Amino acid sequence: MSGGPAVDDESPERLARAALSHLVGYGNARLAAAIRDLGPAEAWEQARPRHPDIEPRRDLDRLREVGGWLLCPGDPGWPDGLAGLDRAAERAEPEYGTPMALWCRGAAGPSRPGQVEPTGLTDCDRHGVAVVGSRAATGYGQHVAGELACSLAERGWTVVSGAAFGIDAAAHRGALAGDGVTVAVLACGVDIPYPAAHLRLLDEIRERGLLVSEVPPGSPPLRRRFLIRNRLIAGLARGTVLVEAGLRSGALSTARHARRLGRGLMVVPGPVTSAMSVGCHRLLREHREVCALVTDARDVEEEIGPIGLRTDDGLSSGGGRPAGPRDSLPAVVRALLEAMPARGCVGVAVLAARIGQRPRDVLAMLGPLAVEGLVEARPGGYRLTALGRGPTQGRPGRDDGEDDGLFPTREVLP
């Protein structure tokens, strides 16, 4: 399926935005000033004579041919998560601010009214996690990225990445394996199979997720655009996980953007003997106040909170959890909690049958509940914690008085 919401693709402003998309990555400060001062339509009118080869109507036709659609700021489905880019771009270089437009292609369209499952871009800063890392990834890094993305997808998260070799590809593949939605933000046109070896992967992402670019169809992958593109990966996600990065890896720029946007920045460690983890370890060492070490999807949820919160819901990275009592939960989640036995474990399939939901949706609800300490996963299924059982028992966070073995509250040693 294709197509976003019905919008007038031929308005002067949309045509101007489509045209100006061609100029991303050239650092044209004068043009940027014109766009800022006059708006895209007027700025493009002025710039047009110098760019006779740019024909936005032709680009939009090409986009429609491949089943895509143009998304402009203000359109229904425009990702709110990108709103912070203009603030984050301290110097007024246009290419680090809000993109002119997003050229989209894929099954996970933006904002379908009435949809329950989060897909597409609209709420990406609620349900998206960026998983990025080195192109020259090791087997270890690819394995970890794949497992992490699969597990995140199974918990309902949309995995955002850049479709590059190495970690990016492993992340997309993991998300697809987890039957989840994945978004690839490209540095070239959404009709360009780049890298060529990822032709099939890009097809799969398009069929079950989304390809997004801020440059028009046919645009080649320019080196400079990769770094610029990285801000969109960070901006489309609630947090960014860096899996492997050498000391100069381009993925570090995505990490930087995530921090500038105030999103969670999470880093997967690796062997200290691996050059591909040097950048990761350095981030964890030198910026430990803003970088969280994560080892799996559960850690990620502990950092950025349960799926469904906004990035501006007051969840800082390092993760205070909303204190709300059980009553403040959505009805379906309350029903789920009420379907759980007071003692003992219950399987996901049983719970799904009890409340008339799909097992996958039950699983997606259980993840956040576990993070909030209301339920916990056990070998035999899920069970209520003291906190989940009711307001008079237990304490928030960890289960009742269990020694965490490291620096326990109730110390083992005197």
Q: Which stretch binds a second copy (CB under 8 A): 14-22, 156-164, 276-284, 326-334?
A: 276-284
Contacting residue, 8, 37, 53, 286, with a second copy by CB under 8 A: 286
Contacting residue, 63, 255, 304, 336, with a second copy by CB under 8 A: 255
Residue 184 — φ and ψ, nearest 5°? -105, 120
Q: Which is nearer to a second copy, 273 or 392 (CB)?
A: 273
Question: How far is 120 from 79, CA to CA, in rounded Å?
Answer: 9
Residue 409 interacts with a second copy (CB under 8 A): yes or no? no
Question: How far is 375 from 368, CA to CA, in rounded Å?
Answer: 9
Contacting residue, 14, 256, 263, 383, with a second copy by CB under 8 A: 256
Number of residues binding to a second copy, judged by CB under 8 A: 49
Q: Smallest gap, in angstroms, from Cβ of residue 96 to a second copy?
A: 6
Contacting residue, 50, 200, 248, 343, with a second copy by CB under 8 A: 248
Q: Smallest gap, in angstroms, from Cβ of residue 230 to a second copy?
A: 9
Q: Smallest gap, in angstroms, from Cβ of residue 239 to a second copy?
A: 15
Q: Which stretch binds a second copy (CB under 8 A): 39-47, 139-147, 193-201, 383-391?
A: 139-147
Q: Smallest gap, in angstroms, from Cβ of residue 4 to a second copy?
A: 30
Report the site for a second copy in 15-54 (rule: CB under 8 A): none
Q: Which is nearer to a second copy, 342 or 406 (CB)?
A: 406
Q: Which is nearer to a second copy, 99 or 216 (CB)?
A: 99
Q: Smallest gap, in angstroms, from Cβ of residue 397 to a second copy?
A: 11
∠ Cα 351 353 359 (to 5°): 65
Residue 282 interacts with a second copy (CB under 8 A): yes or no? yes
Contacting residue, 30, 48, 87, 288, with a second copy by CB under 8 A: 288
Residue 136 interacts with a second copy (CB under 8 A): yes or no? no
Q: What contacts 178, CB < 8 A, 6 or more positions away?
A: 149, 150, 151, 152, 153, 154
Residue 206 interacts with a second copy (CB under 8 A): yes or no? no
Q: Smallest gap, in angstroms, from Cβ of residue 92 to a second copy?
A: 8
Contacting residue, 117, 204, 296, 376, with a second copy by CB under 8 A: 296
Q: What contacts 157, CB < 8 A, 6 or more positions away?
A: 127, 128, 129, 180, 297, 307
Query: Residue numbers of the site for a second copy (CB under 8 A)?
Result: 89-93, 96, 140, 143-144, 227, 247-248, 252-253, 255-257, 259, 268-273, 277-279, 281-288, 292-296, 299, 404-407, 411-414
